[in-house]
Amino acid sequence: MADAIRMDGKVAVITGGAGGIGFATAQLMTQRGARVVLADIAVERARELAATLDGALALLLDLEDEGSIEALITQTVSHFGRLDVLHNNAALLGPEIARNDGDVERMSTALWDRTYRVNVRGTMIACRAALPHLRASKGNIINTVSNLALQGHLIQAAYASWKAAILQLTRSIAASHGIHGVRCNAVAPGMTMTPALKEAFPPMLRKAVEDETLRDQLGEAEDIAEAVAFLASDAARNITGQVLVSDGGCASHVPGITRFRDFFSGDHQ
């Protein structure tokens, strides 16, 4: 097991591969010997990034289009001859979605329906298309969820709900396909300092999350990539049906820990 973290000879499809977490994962898996597919609706950007990675391939992925999802898997196997890892990381997000994803009382039915149609349905179709090939390779699936799939919040009711749906899909696939040698796990990031988040998230709210984080900083895309690559490797061969929370300990403690920290510091020690 000394080299079990290596991914030599494995083929990995990374959806959302042109984004921060997706590309960081592609870089790390390539460094560990995998051949990767960067799948993204921003296919030109994916091609630019794939050109920087040895042996990588960029393919179009539109999660709203069932044919596009199925073509991604078919083209991957046609090009590389196999599929070992599917990292479902792509999602319909963006500033407009985030601005309108509040509490349920103010929730637009159209926003709710579209996020489920793209993100949950699209992830299911990707898993369904990949599973025959993953059975052949004894491969695995890693789904990106969120710590909000495990916690309640004032906002992002749709986001938290569909992430929780994918978490349950993860467990279902693990239970039904483990006997065939296929593992399925999820990674749940907390707030992660991708370029998109740095641009879009209000500094005041970012500071609130930083204060609740047990590390001295928020996570980076590379931190999530390490969790994904570990689960994808043979080092995690005995792990399936699980969610690995990578949020700097933000979800692990009692509410109000910042105030307790202030109280017990300085004069109160």
Coil vs helix vs strand at 64: coil
User: How far is CA 257 from each of CA 10, 246, 252, 260, rounded to the nearest angstrom?
Assistant: 43, 19, 10, 5
Q: Which residues of 228-250 are buried (b: 16+ CB within 10 A; e: fewer)?
A: bbbbbbebbeeebebbbbbbbeb
Instruction: Give the Cα separation of 218 and 137 in Å (integer).
Output: 36
User: Is 159 a catalytic site residue?
Assistant: yes
Sheet hosting strand 243-246, strand order edge to edge: 57-60, 35-40, 11-15, 85-88, 140-144, 183-189, 243-246
**Catalytically annotated residue among 23, 80, 159, 162:** 159
**Residues with catalytic annotation?**
159
